[in-house]
Amino acid sequence: MEEQHINKIKSELEDTIESEMKEEIKENRLNSFISGQFFFSKFKGSFITFLAIIIALGEYSEAVALINDGTKTIQSEFTNDLEYDVISKIHVGNTVSYMESILGNPQVSRMINEDVNANYFYDDKYLLTLFYKNTRIVAFTVLPLVEDFHPEVTKTASSQWILGKANFLSFPANPQSYTVDHATTASYYLESFDKGRTGFFVQSYLGKVSYTIESVSTQIVELYNTDVHGIDREVLKLQTKLRQTEIPNFYGEGELGLELIEKSILTGAEFNSYFGLL
C-alpha cells in the first residue's frame, strides 16, 4: 500500500510538471539555451520541488533520469542536435549489437538478398535504414522526413556538405552510377560515388526520393521516361540539368551496389503500412 501511495504521488507530480512544461514551451518557446541546458521561469520552482520530493522518497537515481529525459525531450523539440549526434555515430563496419544499443530495435526488417537485411529505424524527423550482413553494418541510408532536418554528411579540412542544402553537382565526388524510377508508389533518382582511398571499398549514395504526388520532381519523371525510351544524348542532357538544380534528400554509405540500395526504397504504401501516413 505504501508503495502504491508513493507511486500515486509521483504520477500526480509528473502530470503537473508536464502540464506546466508544455504551457511554458507554448507561450515562450525557450527563454534561453546555454551550453545545452534549458532554463524556464514558470515551472522551474515546481520542478525543483518535485525532484526534492522524489529524492526524499529515496528515488535519487529516478530524479537524475527525469532531469536527463526532460532535457533531451526539450532539446529534441527545438533543435535537431540529438538526432544529428545519433547519425554521426553510424559507420560502415559497426557491429549490429553496438548500433542497436544506440538505436534500439528496428521497427521493420526486410531481406533484400540472401545475405543482407534492410532494417528500418523510424523517427519523426527521419527514416534510417541499416543494412545487416551477419553481425556487421555493411551500409546505411538516411531520409529526412521534415523540412528543417539537414545533417552534415561529409566533411573535409576545408569544407562540409549538408544534406538538403545544396544540389547534386556540389557533392565533392563524381558519380559512378545512377538509377531512376517513377511510379505511382514511389519516385526517385539515386547515385553512387567512389569515396577513394579514404573509403576503402565504401561508396557514398545520394538521392532524391519522393513518396507523394505533391513532392514528385518533374525532372525525375522526365529523366525516367527518356531513360526508358530516349537516346543517351538526351538522357545525359536531362541528367546534367537535374544534377544542377535538384537538391538531394537521401544520403548513405556502404559496401553494397546501388541496386541493393534501390531495393530498400519503400513504396508509399509500405511506408504508410509500417509507420503511418506520410
Q: What is the pLDDT of residues 196-252, one digit of tens each?
A: 655 568 999 999 998 766 678 999 999 999 999 888 899 999 999 999 999 999 999
Task: Record the pTM.
Answer: 0.74
pLDDT level of residue 73 (50, 70, 90 thresholds): low
Residue 208 φ then ψ, to 5°? -120, 115
Residues with Cβ within 8 Å of 203's Cβ and at least 6 positions away in sequence, in order, are 176, 192, 193, 194, 195, 253, 254, 255, 256, 258
